[in-house]
Amino acid sequence: MSTDYTRQEMMAIATGREIRDGELAIFGVGLSMIAGYFAQANHAPNVRAMTEGGVYGATPIGGMPWGIECNRLAVNAVSFTNALDALGCLVASGRCDVGIIGAAQVDKFGNVNTTGIWDGEIGDTFRPPKTRLTGAGGANDIASGAKRFLIMVSHEAKRFVDKVSYISSPGYLDGGNARHDIGLIGGGPSAIITTLGVLRPHPRTREFQLDAYFAFSSVEEILASTGWDLKVAPDVRLVPEPTAQELATLRRIDEGGMLRRA
Amino acid sequence: MPDNKLITLPEAVRRYTWDGMQYASGAALPVGSDAIAFGRELLRQKRRDLHGIFHCNTQQLNLLAAAGAVTRAECGFSGLEGFGFANGLRRAVEQGRLALEDYSNLSIPLRLLGGALNWPFVPATVNIGSDLSYRSAFEPDSYPNRNKIPLVTDPFSGQQIGALSPLRPDLAAIHVTFADAEGNAIMLGTEWSRFELSRAAKRVILLADAIVHQDCMRQYPNLVRIPGVIVEAVVYWPFTAWPQASPGMYDVDETHMKAMNKALGSEEGTLDYLRDYVESYVDVDSYLDLIGREKVAELSNGATRFLADPYRRWLLPHADAVALSAEATA
């Protein structure tokens, strides 16, 4: 089947649709920033966006920023503060409505690994990873404190594992009430949005199950691309395709074409 | 006439650093406001076995790690944001030459705040429940680790909470946009954690893109988040953060960011980089020549240039700032 948009674009639009107008929101660099600013430009003009460096009121110009401190963001901010303020006072405190984070690996309880890839389990001795990744960054703080957060990740079996080898950012840990029991304030991941569909947590077990698939994917493809025995929601549905307006808006945000390269 | 704390970069490294020290730097995330010029000088003076405290990895830590000068590091984030993985740091970690202790972008400033306030620990509702708590590169055989971020009981609610250890680095080399000769400083862009860092470190050295007359600080005292009373010395070094950005002063040098990170991905590339971009200049002027005067002009003319406009009337001319540095060093 052919479409006039990429899987990455569908993922960004589906993620953006999760953001509601007026929310206090925090975005990281890259994909999550595109999805967040897409929401702001498309249907949530009063989203109160910030970055973890404490850059407020800014909208990127001249292409997607290469970082939080990028001149493309620093150029029209109304306030610069600091990490204690943004990630602490506004996120870890429990005030932030929604955050968006990425993942190298995610498991069935929405735990995220961005620290490293080991060959097999790490074991009792913390040996160096075969491949060192970028670490937790602000994602751990967002995952710990935000009222809810969204995980964006490319849907491949090697990334969707039964149990991540290292939890960089907590999802529902072992499921059930584990998050609350350990003392985490935030509500946990409300959705995993992938290049194939959308997964949401079961209300009691907190195990992620397939909630929806995209027009170019299928339940079968998603099951085959997931490394655990993914359950399918009884009312699994098709995600509406991007409207012409959504695509046009997204492409204005993604003027460098980051999402069209795949 | 205020105190003159301006000294040259080589003198600052000679006076305030030693092998094995706990060295803190890095500033506003990986690609902005990093005092990397200080890191280059650490390498020129062959400092070894450093314990790096970097809120985020930067090109500075990437370089120091690639060159083998850092054996332990603590970070909240260890990539290069839009520029991908930090190849030098990554290589050092994967080869077991550098023990990287992972925290998050909030827990590092919280630990600095704890050090600044001389608290025994800092209560935390982040990092708990994750492997940032249970795994320690400094105590690799202890799993699940109970010493890195132990759980304690909140005496008011009876709830469990994480206890973060405070940080008190031996030295912080901090990038600022403007400093006067006494060490009062203004930062444009996000502070990231430079406020807490300046209070947590046992000693503070500023690396300033520009030196301003003290009247500038008297005009904007609210913006002076690092006052001279906590600063040992000031180094005047334009393009301190290059190839990273300094809002208001210069944009990121994308070409060099990529070329540098590529070079640091191999032993051979690292040696070439050290030869070409660490050992190859003798002073500020030849450093700017190395970047290239056309490139300097181009990067200085970025979209955020207007942020520095209110301060321009107080800028000391380049020659005067250099002369002041020589005077105090002599």
**CB neighbours of residue B210 within 10 Å:** 25
Alpha helices (H) along B131-206: 131-134, 194-200
B255 CB near a chain A CB, below 8 Å? no
Q: Show the domain range for A133.
A: 7-260
State the pLDDT confidence band at B54, using cuts at 50, 70 and 90.
Answer: very high
Q: Which of residues 68-87 of B touch A (CB under 8 A)?
A: 75-79, 81-83, 85-86
pLDDT of B30? 61
Give the number of beta-carbon pairs within 8 Å between A and B: 224
CA distances from A117 to A135, A167, B73 (A): 11, 11, 19
Give domain status of residue A42, yes or no: yes
Tally of domains in chain A: 1
Nearest residue, CB atoms, B129 vs list A64, A125, A173? A173
Beta-carbon separation of A136 and B143 below 8 A? no
CA distances from A170 to A80, A103, A144, B127 (A): 28, 11, 7, 8
Residue of chain B whose alpha carbon sits nearest to that of A143: B126
pLDDT tens profile B272-295: 999 999 999 999 999 999 999 999
Kind plus residue range of the DSSP H or E element containing A15: helix A7-16
pLDDT of A1? 42
Nearest residue, CB atoms, B125 vs list A71, A92, A126? A92
State the pLDDT confidence band at B32, using cuts at 50, 70 and 90.
Answer: confident
3-state secondary structure of B16: helix
B196 CB near a chain A CB, below 8 Å? yes
Residue of chain A whose alpha carbon sits nearest to that of B34: A69
Instruction: For chain A, list residues with pLDDT below 70.
Output: 1-3, 69, 262
Give domain status of residue A1, yes or no: no
* DSSP-derived pairing of the beta strands A189-194 and A197-201: antiparallel
pLDDT of B41? 98
Beta-carbon separation of A92 and B79 below 8 A? no
* Phi/psi of residue B8, nearest 5 degrees: -75, 160
A137 CB near a chain B CB, below 8 Å? yes
Give domain status of residue A2, yes or no: no
Give domain status of residue A158, yes or no: yes
A84 CB near a chain B CB, below 8 Å? yes
Beta-carbon separation of B81 and A66 below 8 A? yes
Beta-carbon separation of B110 and A84 below 8 A? yes
Q: Which of residues 50-79 of A touch B (CB under 8 A)?
A: 51-55, 61-62, 64-72, 74-75
pLDDT of A262? 56
Smallest CA-to-CA distance from B56 within A36, A80, A89, A67 is with: A67
State the pLDDT confidence band at B327, using cuts at 50, 70 and 90.
Answer: confident
A3 CB near a chain B CB, below 8 Å? no
Active-site residue A52, yes or no? yes
Beta-carbon separation of B304 and A75 below 8 A? yes
Residue with structure tokens 């939080």? A68
State the pLDDT confidence band at B31, using cuts at 50, 70 and 90.
Answer: confident
To the nearest 10°, the Cα dihedral for B247, B250, B256, B260?
Answer: -50
| C-alpha count within 13 angstroms, C-beta hemisphere, residue B184 | 17
Distance of alpha carbon B205 from alpha carbon A202, whole angstroms: 53
Residue of chain A whose alpha carbon sits nearest to that of B131: A167
Indicate the domain borders of chain B: 9-46+177-329, 120-164
Q: Which of residues 152-211 of A touch B (CB under 8 A)?
A: 166-170, 173, 178-179, 182-185
Mutate to test the interface with B, among A66, A73, A149 (most CBs of B within 10 A): A66
CATH code of the domain covering residue A67: 3.40.1080.10
| C-alpha count within 13 angstroms, C-beta hemisphere, residue B236 | 28
Residue of chain A whose alpha carbon sits nearest to that of B137: A126
pLDDT tens profile B178-217: 999 999 999 999 999 999 999 999 999 999 999 999 999 9
Chain B residues whose CB is inside 8 A of the A61 CB are 303
pLDDT tens profile B94-142: 999 999 999 999 999 999 999 999 999 999 999 999 999 999 999 999 9
pLDDT of B27? 66
CA distances from A2 to A5, A244, A251, B150 (A): 9, 16, 19, 53
* DSSP-derived pairing of the beta strands B224-226 and B185-186: antiparallel
Alpha helices (H) along A20-98: 31-42, 71-74, 83
Residue with structure tokens 């990038």? B175
Does the interface predicted TM-score (ipTM) exceed 0.95? yes
Q: Say how many Å lie between the first and final Cα of chain A, rounded.
A: 16
Kind plus residue range of the DSSP H or E element containing B60: helix B59-66
Active-site residue (options: A18, A23, A52, A207): A52
pLDDT tens profile B232-268: 999 999 999 999 999 999 999 999 999 999 999 999 9
Q: Mean of the per-residue pLDDT values for chain B?
A: 96
| C-alpha count within 13 angstroms, C-beta hemisphere, residue A58 | 31
Beta-carbon separation of A126 and B129 below 8 A? no
Q: Give the CATH superfamily of B9-46+177-329.
A: Glutaconate Coenzyme A-transferase (3.40.1080.10)
A234 CB near a chain B CB, below 8 Å? no
Instruction: Indicate if the pLDDT at residue B152 is higher than 80.
Output: yes
pLDDT tens profile A4-47: 999 999 999 999 999 999 999 998 888 899 999 999 999 999 99
Residue of chain A whose alpha carbon sits nearest to that of B79: A134
Nearest CA distance, B51 vs chain A (angstrom): 18
The structure tokens listed for B200 are 């947590």
